[in-house]
Amino acid sequence: MDFTLSNEQRSWQMTARKFAEEEIRPISVERDEISDPRETFDWEIIKKGSRLGFRTMAVPKEWGGHGTDFVTQALVMAELAKADSAISKTFSQCWKWSHLIAATCTDEQKRRFLQPFLEDDTYLLGKGISEPSAGSDNRLPPPDDPKAGLKLRAERHGDDWILNGEKCFIANASVGKLFFIDARTDPNAPLKQGTTMFLVPRDTPGFRIGKVFNKSGWRFYQNGEMIFENARVPHANVVGPVNGSDMKTQQAGDRTGGDLFGDLELAANALGVCDDACGMALRLARTKKQGGRLLFEQQVVQLKLNRMHLLTEALRSFVMRVAWEHDHKMHSANPGLCMNFSTDVIQEVSERNLELHADAGVMNARADKLVRDAIIWSHLAGDSVQRMKTTRRLAK
């Protein structure tokens, strides 16, 4: 077993650490505190990060990207998240769909969409699955209810498809330029056999963004509504086979932008938040005094710090192992288990950090932010649903 990083991996990590500390951290709490959810976003930080490669690092080299491996991606996500979880997620959301493009798009589609993505520092990607009445149903479709799941309708008219319906909670909705949209193309078939994925550019006629959701955590990250009113998408934008949206994950293996990367992404992001919480707590304990003595001298404080660090280091081991397994194309339920574990760890570690600050009579807006960001993990896709889905992978 060898945990040594290559020079290239180390170099990405160091660049990310510097960028995170010097550029992201100074704006993190300030962006979080803006009350209008549309105003929390900051294009300058996206452009700066993009110029350093953090937007396009997952695009394969043959298509003009950086072609970084999954270990590097995990390292960078954690470093960026250590400064701001939501800003890190905004970048990695683009990697998720870069993987999807690489895995599932035709060469013609790659030319049409990867090229502008690579050239434009403000070109962000997103994917629309969830709808007001279809959340968990898209992830664990009930076998006894074939009509369950997303309802957005796509009907073929000659060379075009006409889309009608709406999506909600869609990441990067208000800032993205290109979206993968899952739509029902056969309303009578169960979800997996009746859904097709479309590439939908922002300027598609009949397609618009509704409200941006006002979340308690991850405030920088833009989750919005999408409204399709006779939106016209050319047949050339169909990804994979018609009625075969679900095929992507099986065909694509670990190059997918689907669940496998998504699980690693959340776990690596959580790791960065935990690192930040541990750092804050340790700094507090070593500087703040009570009764004339440093907090660190107290047993109850030492025990809490111990708990925070042991959980964080266990998560680090798991995250790096899953990233390494992705690079070696080893398939297992580990990514899901790691993501489930990260939900528990990020919440306990961020809550303990807040507790140490509150116990010391120190109000810290950042400690509060980390707790709010951490709670998001339970609400991304239905916490129990994510866990049961992982378990079903174990039984396959």
Partner 1 sequence: MYNLQLSPEQLEIRDTVRDFVARDVKPHALRPERLEARTRPLLIDVLDKASQLGLRTLALSEDAGGAGADTLTSAIVTEELALGDPDVAAVLAQTSMLAHLLFDRLMTPEQHARFLPPFLADDRYQLALADLEPDRDGVLGIRYHRPEMSEAGVKTTAVRAGDVWVINGVKDRVANAPLAKLFAVEVSNGANGVSTLLVPSDAPGLSISESDRSSHFHHGACGTLAFQDCRVPLENLIGAEGESPLDGNATRDLPQDQALNLGIGRAAYEAALDYAQLRVQGGRRIVEHQAIGTKLAEVAVRLEVARAAIWQAAWACDHPEAIADRSLPDLPLTRIAKVFASEAIYHATKDAAECFGAMGVMRDMPLQKYAHDALVCLHSGTSNSDTKLHIAEALAGYRRPASAAVLAAE
Q: Which of 109, 164, 249, 298 binds partner 1 (CB under 8 A)?
A: 298
DSSP state of 334: H
Q: What are phi and psi of 135, to 5 degrees?
A: -110, -85
For the window 33-72, what string marks contact with partner 1 as x by the rule CB under 8 A?
--x-------------------------------------
Tell me how far, at minimum, the Cβ of 128 lies from partner 1, in Å: 14
Query: Please, which residues have CB within 8 angstroms of residue 254's CB and are 6 or more apart in sequence?
Result: 70, 260, 261, 326, 329, 331
Tell me how far, at minimum, the Cβ of 208 lies from partner 1, in Å: 21
Tell me how far, at minimum, the Cβ of 127 lies from partner 1, in Å: 15
Which of 373, 325, 374 minimizes the C-alpha distance to 346?
374
Nearer to partner 1, 6 or 214 (CB): 214
The count of other CB atoms within 10 Å of the CB of residue 231 is 24
Decide if residue 300 touches partner 1 (CB under 8 A): yes
Query: Please, which residues have CB within 8 angstroms of residue 346's CB and are 6 or more apart in sequence?
Result: 270, 273, 274, 374, 377
Q: Which of 135, 190, 201, 206 binds partner 1 (CB under 8 A)?
A: 135
Nearer to partner 1, 141 or 176 (CB): 141
Decide if residue 371 touches partner 1 (CB under 8 A): yes
Q: Which of 11, 115, 214, 250 binds partner 1 (CB under 8 A)?
A: 214
Tell me how far, at minimum, the Cβ of 183 lies from partner 1, in Å: 20
- CB–CB of 28/84 below 8 Å? yes
Q: Which of 9, 136, 237, 353 binds partner 1 (CB under 8 A)?
A: 136
- Sequence length of the chain is 396
Tell me how far, at minimum, the Cβ of 5 lies from partner 1, in Å: 35
- CB–CB of 119/63 below 8 Å? no
Q: At what angle do helices 334-359 and 383-394 cross, to 10 degrees?
A: 140
Decide if residue 126 touches partner 1 (CB under 8 A): no
Decide if residue 376 touches partner 1 (CB under 8 A): yes
Decide if residue 395 touches partner 1 (CB under 8 A): no
How far is it, in rounded angstroms, from Cα 353 to Cα 333? 30
The count of other CB atoms within 10 Å of the CB of residue 97 is 25
Nearer to partner 1, 90 or 136 (CB): 136
Tell me how far, at minimum, the Cβ of 212 lies from partner 1, in Å: 11
Nearer to partner 1, 116 or 132 (CB): 132
How far is it, in rounded angstroms, from Cα 174 to Cα 85? 19
How far is it, in rounded angstroms, from Cα 144 to Cα 57? 42
Instruction: Say whether 332 sits in a helix, a strand or coil.
Output: coil
Q: Which stretch binds partner 1 (CB under 8 A): 6-14, 45-53, 128-136, 322-330?
A: 128-136
Decide if residue 355 touches partner 1 (CB under 8 A): yes
Q: Which amino acid is at 300?
A: V
Q: Which of 292, 329, 395, 396 binds partner 1 (CB under 8 A)?
A: 292
Which of 294, 273, 276 minimizes the C-alpha distance to 285?
294
Decide if residue 173 touches partner 1 (CB under 8 A): no
Q: Which amino acid is at 131?
A: E
Tell me how far, at minimum, the Cβ of 288 lies from partner 1, in Å: 11
Q: Which stretch binds partner 1 (CB under 8 A): 54-62, 231-239, 332-340, 357-365?
A: 357-365
Q: Scanning residues 219 to 238, which ones bind partner 1 (CB under 8 A)?
A: 223
Query: Please, which residues have CB within 8 angstroms of residue 303's CB and are 6 or more apart in sequence?
Result: none
Tell me how far, at minimum, the Cβ of 173 lies from partner 1, in Å: 13
Tally of CA atoms within 13 A in the half-sphere of 225 that contains its CB: 10
- For residue 111, give both structure tokens: 């030319």
Q: Which stretch binds partner 1 (CB under 8 A): 71-79, 82-90, 91-99, 209-217?
A: 209-217
Nearer to partner 1, 143 or 158 (CB): 143
Q: Angle at Cα 365 formed by Cα 360 and Cα 368, nearest 5°? A: 80
Decide if residue 302 touches partner 1 (CB under 8 A): no
Which of 355, 337, 267 minimizes the C-alpha distance to 78?
267
Contacts with partner 1, residue ranges (CB under 8 A): 35, 130, 133-137, 140, 142, 144-145, 148, 168-169, 213-217, 223, 290-293, 297-298, 300, 354-355, 358-359, 361, 363, 365, 371, 375-376, 378-380, 382-385, 388
